[in-house]
Amino acid sequence: MRAASVPIQRPLDAKLLAVDYRGQIEHLARSEFADLLRPGDTVIANDAATLPASLSGLHVPSGRSIEVRLAGRRALDENARFSAVIFGEGDFRIRTEDRPKPPLLNRGDRLKLGILQATVLELLNHPRLFLLEFGGSLRQIREGIARHGRPIQYAHVPMPLAAWNTWTPIAGPPVAFEPPSAGFALDWSTLRKMNERRIRFATITHAAGISSTGDAELDRRLPFDEPYRISHSTAAMIRAAQENGGRIVAVGTTVVRALEHAAALFDGTVPAGERLATQRIGANSPLRIVDAILSGTHEPGTSHYELLRAFAKDENLARIDAELNTHGYRTHEFGDSIFLERDGIGMSSAKRSAA
Amino acid sequence: MGVSRNLEKSELSLAGTRAAITGGTSGLGLALVHELRNRGAQVAFVARNRNRVERLAQELDGAYGITGDVSRKEDIYPLAMQIAGALGGLDVLINNASDLGPAPLALLGDTESERFERAFSTNVLGPFWLTKALLGSLAASAREGRGAAVVNISSDAGVNAYPYWGAYGASKAALHHLSRIWDEELRAEGVRVISIDPGDMDTPLHAIAVPDADRTALKRPEVAAREIADRIHSLLWHHGSGIEEEAIR
């Protein structure tokens, strides 16, 4: 697949590869996404807005230029302490794996990040991953990130991203570190059409973390723990879908992670509340809630691709991969999409567990 | 101004409502900050002048002050981020910040293009950008059953053709129509968008526009703020029921 290098969320020619539960593949325009849905389906998206989580500045003890990327938080309302990844000189124009080595961090080191002051509280079992604490009031921290931060981005998009490139149309709480980019496919017109066809729409808030660090060892630890919140109205919609046998369609891997995390804790139900998703989803993970996923296209070896293995057999994923490559699908956050029904017996997970 | 009233029994409470107000350090905006706070709302306010924002935030314990200029596109997402972050969501957005255009007022033929553009940036583009950036928060609020409303402050100069009010009047007309269309489009999402003409008020903006006005004949911004708060209460209360209401005049 080729990288999508232009930060347009909904290019007119965006493609959608649809795979049904039998493994049948169909090529569609992504604008036809809603046509794949059925009345009674419940579509659930992640409404997290994306913080400009790349902060350039200075490692005070060494006097060297650094970039710090906020990578995770323990709770949605935690605004002073973040896990973070440090990079050496330069910015997103250099591939992360080619970046100069950053200075060695020690507990207590001061960092000056534009108008923000921060301290290294502790290293997190890796020389580049650490717990960062901002100084100042919450108001100063919020303003400092909002004004000084730049969206985290990677070398495949050569122009600097603006905040509006990274917020999905439905973005609300600014808690994610990278965009829940499957949601780029949604627009208000699609939501309107879904509404007219009695397809229900709900959101969760899931603080999507960093997706790549340029360090193989760190990348193997992804995704980091991510807090998420399920509202009462969303919990009620999921319950209704389960009772009525309607399908639950997740927009993005973060939604799958959150819903299945809750369902694993609560015996197949998804109660309202905030929790911390710690699990990884792979080939052997049971899907108790999600019947289908709308996602970006992912390359083998990434944690996102691993998650797709919970939906489809490896031989089907291999066929999908071949189709994506043959048909010139674009990958990464501004790329094309796939719609994947979990393979199996062609009924909703609710019906299946009732059977 | 700055007088804090106790919540009177007759007033409709906005306890727990999360509201953001632009142009919050003077005139109607300031009166709205006080009024909504007095009714129990959690309030974030936006204004351009950092000193005034910080002074007011200090004066009003619990009101969240944010410095920024809604007429600058690059300020919008930092503002939206701080509003949604500080309030933990958003139920009500009041686009109140306004620019008069040329000061003193001028005939359109004498109006500098830059002044005309500035009026449109503040009065039309700013509300469009900020509402769009916060639409996800507002729609989430509606889905959660809290109701959601955008209140755009317009003017009768946007309806009637007053000579000398060209830049301001044309921009407020655009804002009014933007509100009507957006309201139609967002009904199904449970988000209401209305424009309110608060009437001629005794505010700094009015003093610049009409320096020799008889101030005693003008409406006090506190009165307009009370009417707007009542209207917000009814919008949130009736959310989803599609009840039509009369404009406040």
CATH code (residue B96): 3.40.50.720
- In this structure, the answer to whether residues A76 and A138 fall within a common structural domain is yes
- In this structure, the answer to whether residues A171 and A144 fall within a common structural domain is no
- In this structure, the answer to whether residues A91 and A62 fall within a common structural domain is yes
Phi then psi dihedrals of residue B137, to 5 deg: -65, -45
Q: Band of the pLDDT at A348, cuts 50, 70, 90?
A: low
Closest Cβ opposite residue A203 in set B79, B143, B145: B143
* CATH number of the structural domain spanning residue A71: 2.40.10
Residue A84 has pLDDT above 50, yes or no: yes
Residue contact A146–B88, C-beta within 8 A: no
Q: Is the peptide bond prior to A223 cis by the omega test (within 30 degrees of 0)?
A: yes
The residue segments making up the domain with residue A111 are: 54-148
Query: pLDDT per residue over B165-181, tens digit each?
Result: 999 999 999 999 999 99
Q: How far is CA B12 from CA B48, B148, B192, B246, in A?
A: 30, 17, 19, 18
**Overall residue count recorded for chain B in this entry:** 249
Boundary of a domain, candidates A116, A148, A180: A148
Say yes or no: A47 contacts chain B, CB-CB below 8 A: yes
Query: pLDDT per residue over B86-112, tens digit each?
Result: 999 999 999 999 999 999 999 999 999
Smallest CA–CA distance from B62 into chain A, residue: A139
Closest Cβ opposite residue B89 in set A79, A172, A233: A172
Residue contact A174–B84, C-beta within 8 A: yes
Interface test with A, best of B79, B143, B187 (most A CBs within 10 A): B143
Residue B130 lies in a domain: yes
Q: What pLDDT shows up at residue B244?
A: 37
Residue contact B84–A173, C-beta within 8 A: yes
d(CA A338, CA A3): 15
SS3 call for B21: strand
Rounding to the nearest 10 degrees, give the CA dihedral for residues A72, A73, A79, A81: -90
**Number of domains forming the structure of chain B:** 1
Kindly give, in sequence order, each residue whose CB lies less than 8 Å from that of residue A78, ignoring residues fewer than 6 positions away.
Answer: A227
Say yes or no: B133 contacts chain A, CB-CB below 8 A: yes
Residue A143 lies in a domain: yes
Query: pLDDT per residue over A113-135, tens digit each?
Result: 999 999 999 999 999 999 999 99
Boundary of a domain, candidates A148, A178, A195: A148
Whose CA is closest to B81, among B55, B42, B46, B49?
B46
Residue B209 lies in a domain: yes
* CATH number of the structural domain spanning residue A213: 3.40.1780.10
Element holding B89 (H helix, E strand)? none
Q: What pLDDT shows up at residue B167?
A: 98
Residue A138 lies in a domain: yes
**Number of domains forming the structure of chain A:** 2
Residue A153 lies in a domain: no
- In this structure, the answer to whether residues A264 and A203 fall within a common structural domain is yes
Residue B247 lies in a domain: no
Residue A305 lies in a domain: yes
Say yes or no: B218 contacts chain A, CB-CB below 8 A: no
- In this structure, the answer to whether residues A46 and A76 fall within a common structural domain is no
Residue A144 lies in a domain: yes
Q: Has B64 been annotated as catalytic?
A: no
The whole model's pTM is what?
0.94
Kindly give, in sequence order, each residue whose CB lies less than 8 Å from that of residue A49, ignoring residues fewer than 6 positions away.
Answer: A167, A168, A171, A172, A173, A174, A175, A176, B80, B81, B84, B136
The residue segments making up the domain with residue B99 are: 18-237
Say yes or no: B188 contacts chain A, CB-CB below 8 A: yes
